[in-house]
Amino acid sequence: MGFKENLKAELAYKNILVKELASISGVNRRTIDNYLRENGSIPSAEAAVRIAAALGVTVEYLITGQEWQKQSSPLFPDARIILKSLELLDKRNRKIVFSLIKTLREMEGSD
């Protein structure tokens, strides 16, 4: 995944609209929209730094989808959304999700 996909994922994860990101980062809304288009441009280093700072992530994360972490493995962008969703579930429903994941892993192992 590249900048565009990681930016989209981070906007979804933080539930931030492009116009809000533009206001917080100081990067023009049309410019951000251009980064998010299918064949969008790559931001300048300055714009990437401003966007990353506004989102509370590193430029490295926006470009690669990973951050260097000393003692834990990096998460792919969708994992952050999944983790946030799990945090919102009660204990009973988390157990159901874990059971579903276990079943899916077992099914994949038997293919």
What pLDDT is attached to residue 39?
82
pLDDT along the chain (111 residues), means of 10: 89 92 95 90 92 92 73 65 82 90 85 54
- In terms of pTM, does the model score above 0.75? no
Question: Which CATH superfamily is 3-64 part of?
Answer: lambda repressor-like DNA-binding domains (1.10.260.40)
Closest Cα partner for 40 from 12, 75, 14, 7?
A: 7
Ranges in the chain annotated CATH 1.10.260.40 = 3-64
